[in-house]
Every structure is written in C-alpha cells, then in structure tokens.
Homo-oligomer: A and B are copies of this chain.
Amino acid sequence: MKKSGKLIVLSGPSGVGKSTVVAKAMEARDDLCFSVSVTTRLPRPGETDGKDYFFISRERFDQMVENGELLEHATYVSNCYGTPRQYVKQQLENGMNVILDIEIQGARQVDEKMPEALKIFIAPPSMAELRRRLSARGTENSETVEKRINRARQELLEADFYDYLIVNDDLECAAQEFQAILTAEGCRFDPEYARHLAGESEICR
C-alpha cells in the first residue's frame, strides 16, 4: 500500500507571492506538482497541451461539467477553465501532493467534492502593504489596484473554511511555513499506520 498524496488548495490575492512560495517548496521537495487545468481558450505561443493546460473544445468542457469530471470550474472573459478530477486523482495515487492555485469560489467547489483537501490561504501583512506591492509593479492604474484591494479584503473575510492562513510578510518565512504545513500534514495520525508500527499489519510506506 503506497501512501497517497494530498490535494492542496492555495488561494490568496494577486501580488501576495503565492507562486514564489510554491516555487521554493518545489525546490526543497520532489512530491509537489501543480494541477493542469482544462481550458476552452486557444493556446498562446509557447504553451504546450497537457503541460500548461489541457486545451479542449467548449462542447467537451460542457460535457465534463455535466459528467462531474471537474473538481471546480469558472469562466473568465468568456473562456472556461476547470480542474479535471481524473488528472488530480492519478497524481494523488502516485503519491504526489497536487497544488490547485484557485480563487475562493473554486475552493468552495473543491471543498464540497473533496473536503479532505488541504486549504491554505496566503495573505499580505496588511491591505496597505498589498497596495504598496501592487502599485510598485506599475502595471495597473490606481483604480484597478483599489479593485484588487477590495477583492482581497472580501476574500479574507470569506475564507474561514480554509485550514491555514499564511501571512506573507517575509518571503522566506512564508515559504518555510508552507513547507512546515506540508510536513505536519504528512504526520497526521493514521490508525492503519499505527497498527503497522505495532506489528499488527503489513502495509509499507
């Protein structure tokens, strides 16, 4: 019996540093991967099917929704995106921890279908600091920044079904906390494993 991986739902406002936190964890561990989403939009130059996304038709997408083949799905700017259950299931069975970088609405959908998924929210130390970071990027006007701030605030207030809250004040510290959560969750008491250690069963890990 091989130990299966965990599904990790990761959310947090744009600009909070989610991808850097995950990149640092991936450097340190080889049991982490991102989920590959399905999308109805066309591939951009350089994107590979099955790596960046699974590119599918709208008909196929609607069929997946109807068949319950998606753990969560959403529409942005008339393109549909979703997380294929089968792909995630295979990775988990291979012992990989699978990360879904999704927004809170998608997280709720996953939580309903797989309540055992680990839900981690990454927050900025304050709304003022998030504003500073978003403004420093220089890619958005102040109106868009304020929209993002309001959305981040709203998400934090609605995130109480998440298991963990990491505050990204210091990136190294946030990355360490993320990895500590993965390590700790790997130590969750497992009665079957306890029986094995007591010499009462023959599972192997």
Residues of A within 8 A of B (CB): 121, 123-127, 152-153, 156-157, 159-160, 162-167, 176-177, 179-181, 183-191, 193-195, 197-200
- Tell me, in angstroms, the Cα distance from A186 to B167 when the chains sit together: 11
Contact, CB under 8 Å: B184 / A185: yes
Contact, CB under 8 Å: B177 / A124: no
Q: How many copies does the complex hold?
A: 2
30 contacting pairs across A/B (C-beta < 8 A) = A124-B197, A125-B197, A126-B197, A126-B199, A127-B198, A153-B199, A156-B197, A157-B194, A157-B195, A157-B198, A157-B200, A159-B189, A160-B189, A163-B188, A164-B184, A164-B187, A164-B189, A165-B190, A165-B194, A166-B187, A167-B197, A176-B183, A177-B184, A177-B186, A179-B180, A180-B183, A181-B183, A181-B187, A184-B184, A184-B185
Given the complex, which residues of B lie within 8 Å of A167, measured CB to CB?
Answer: 197
- Tell me, in angstroms, the Cα distance from A127 to B201 when the chains sit together: 13
Question: With contacts A127-B199, A156-B198 known, is A164 near B181, CB below 8 A?
Answer: no
Contact, CB under 8 Å: A162 / B180: no
Given the complex, which residues of B lie within 8 Å of A121, measured CB to CB?
Answer: 189, 194
Given the complex, which residues of B lie within 8 Å of A186, measured CB to CB?
Answer: 177
